[in-house]
Amino acid sequence: KPIFVVYADADIVQQKTDESKIYQVEARMHQAWHKWNNNSGGVSLGEYSTILQAFSHWTYHITAGRLMVVDLQGVKAEGAYLLTDPAIHCDNILRFKHTRTNLGVKGMHRFFRTHVCSEVCSKLELPVPPTSSSSDRNPTNESFEYYEALDAIDEINEQTLAFEPNMLGTENNSDWETIECP
């Protein structure tokens, strides 16, 4: 039975009375929210997912090492992971220069430092990168707690995970409009 990895739809909204106020918003997720990995190589040991770790590895492989999707967080539903707010590492650090979450090649190396190739990686025929660990390695020493000191760049504002327009200081939803991005 296939398991799907999908990202939540997001809109960009702009406050009508102050056009400098622009936000990305997503629908509220009512299921239990989890963070499986972050952009600094940290891995959740409480909710470890071989599927999502393999997904990050696959994004690296399928782009020939140019990109990697990390900071996997969201909800696990029937046969699917619904994810939100990803971080993308790019080998060209300037490509996403307006984000603090692109750690470039350094971030990719941090991922592979804690990544344990699993049966999912094997089924996807993903090569084991030289900096990655084999399936007999336990990432316990390099969990989220280990990377807290390295994770200062990854400042996640949890209010954005459950955004509602009234959280921005207005109770009137008509103050907001969805805008088209070029």
Q: For position 179, what pLDDT does the model report?
A: 52
Q: For position 131, what pLDDT does the model report?
A: 65
Residue 56 confidence (pLDDT) above 90: yes
CATH number of 108's domain: 3.20.200.10
Q: For position 139, what pLDDT does the model report?
A: 47
Phi and psi (nearest 5°) for 20? -80, -10
Residue 48 confidence (pLDDT) above 60: yes
Q: For position 163, what pLDDT does the model report?
A: 35
**Out of 16-30, 96-110, 123-137, 156-170, least confident range:** 156-170
* Parent domain of 121: 4-178
The DSSP secondary-structure symbol of 65 reads: T
What total of structural domains would you count in the chain?
A: 1
